[in-house]
């Protein structure tokens, strides 16, 4: 019983789930030449895509030909916002539906991205079924529209988001999750993922730099020099991770949004909006990074903790999540945070990707 308990993490029942698939294609020049003009190309893809999605009851799907990274998040209101580098989708899976296309007129996109947002009321239980429906749509497009084109790169993203201080706000009910790896979970539900797939599992949490925290650490701030302020959080994060036997992670405090990649595919790099973090999950050596600008105080401190192969258990990632929660509690216990009013959002990510 004790062994089963340590592999189960108790998450508030008001946790929010997101699930989406991103199919990415890099078209060759011959593909664009087969259309009378670029805009006609995108409109034809959209017509076939959305008609096929109607057939398979995929109700929230978007075609992106603007070379921007799509980011999906839960929200009670539906928004699609464009920044210089990102395409942000906010939606509630229970009731938001849309079929939309985004492109710059007359511009050849380097990549064509198809974003499939899961809808319904039990996304995790139905995730394999949703994945299979997306594969049927891609099969149709490959057979009718994308002939002689490179394979899609398919990425499956699942999130669970919750407030670490939910109990302090009166939300006492929780559910025990084992958080099984995506591959065996999908295989048991007749969703066949190739052996050559790649998986990433990680957690993010954010600490707003509130007025209370600025006051608490005002002694570490000197003439717009925030190095000591950031060093404190970097040191606190690293110590808490090491204590709880977590070896891979990062603090991002440069104003960019962290995204996580496998080091076999991508390297660490950043732009004005995105901080790409690259990790080798097969390596057990300590890999705790930090990114900040000492002359710039950000509004939010972002933290990432990545599961390595040693954190992967057949029963699931529940034990890993318990270690993560202990780490966050250790850090937050030293901070001026009103747990009854302020949220500390924790987001558990599971990704699986493969060429299709």
pLDDT for res 2: 45
CA distances, 85 to each of 82, 113, 256, 272 (Å) = 8, 14, 11, 8
State how far the Cα of 67 lies from the Cα of 346, in Å rounded to an integer: 29
State how far the Cα of 164 lies from the Cα of 148, in Å rounded to an integer: 49
Buried b (16+ CB within 10 A) or exposed e, 191-220: bebeeeeebbbbbbbbbbbbeebeeebeee
pLDDT for res 282: 92
pLDDT for res 272: 73
pLDDT for res 295: 93
Tokens of 306: 């990545």
Tokens of 90: 């906010």
State how far the Cα of 166 lies from the Cα of 325, in Å rounded to an integer: 13
Tokens of 72: 């999906």
The CA-CA-CA angle for residues 7, 121, 182, to 5°, reads 40
CB atoms inside a 10 Å sphere around CB 268: 14
pLDDT for res 1: 40
Per-residue pLDDT of the chain (356 residues; tens, 9 = 90+): 445 677 899 999 999 999 999 999 998 888 998 898 999 999 999 999 999 999 999 999 999 999 999 999 999 999 999 999 999 999 999 999 999 999 999 899 999 999 999 999 899 999 999 999 999 999 999 998 888 888 899 999 999 999 999 999 999 999 999 999 999 999 999 999 999 899 999 999 999 999 999 999 999 988 889 999 999 999 999 999 999 999 999 999 999 999 998 877 666 666 778 999 999 999 989 999 999 999 999 999 999 999 999 999 989 999 999 999 999 999 999 999 999 999 999 999 999 999 99
């Amino acid at each position: 019983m004790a062994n089963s308990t340590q592999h189960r993490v108790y998450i508030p029942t008001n946790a929010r789930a997101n699930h989406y698939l991103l199919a990415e294609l890099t078209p060759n020049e011959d593909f664009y030449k087969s259309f009378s003009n670029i805009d006609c190309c995108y409109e034809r893809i959209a017509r076939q895509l959305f008609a096929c999605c109607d057939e398979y009851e995929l109700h929230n799907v978007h075609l992106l030909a603007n070379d921007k990274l799509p980011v999906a998040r839960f929200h009670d209101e539906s928004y699609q916002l464009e920044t210089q580098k990102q395409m942000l989708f906010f939606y509630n899976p229970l009731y938001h539906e849309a079929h939309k296309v985004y492109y710059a007129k007359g511009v050849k996109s380097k990549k064509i991205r198809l974003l499939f947002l899961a809808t319904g009321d039990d996304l995790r239980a139905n995730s394999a079924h949703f994945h299979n429906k997306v594969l049927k749509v891609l099969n149709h497009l490959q057979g009718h529209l994308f002939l002689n084109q490179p394979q899609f790169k398919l990425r499956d993203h699942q999130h669970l988001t919750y407030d670490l201080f939910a109990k302090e706000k009166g939300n006492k009910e929780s559910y025990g999750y084992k958080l099984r790896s995506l591959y065996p979970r999908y295989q048991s539900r007749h969703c066949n993922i190739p052996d050559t797939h790649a998986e990433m599992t990680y957690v993010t949490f954010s600490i707003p730099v509130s007025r209370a925290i600025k006051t608490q650490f005002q002694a570490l701030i000197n003439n717009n020099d925030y190095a000591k302020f950031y060093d404190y959080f970097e040191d606190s994060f690293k110590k808490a991770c090491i204590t709880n036997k977590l070896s891979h992670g990062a603090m991002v405090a440069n104003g960019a949004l962290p995204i996580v990649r496998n080091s076999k595919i991508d390297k660490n790099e950043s732009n004005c909006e995105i901080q790409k973090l690259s990790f080798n999950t097969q390596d057990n050596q300590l890999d705790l990074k930090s990114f900040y600008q000492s002359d710039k105080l950000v509004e939010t401190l972002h933290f990432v903790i990545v599961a390595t192969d040693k954190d992967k258990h057949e029963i699931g990632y529940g034990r890993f999540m318990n270690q993560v929660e202990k780490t966050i509690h250790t850090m937050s216990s030293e901070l001026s945070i009103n747990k009854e009013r302020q949220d500390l959002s924790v987001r558990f990510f599971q990704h699986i990707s493969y060429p299709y």
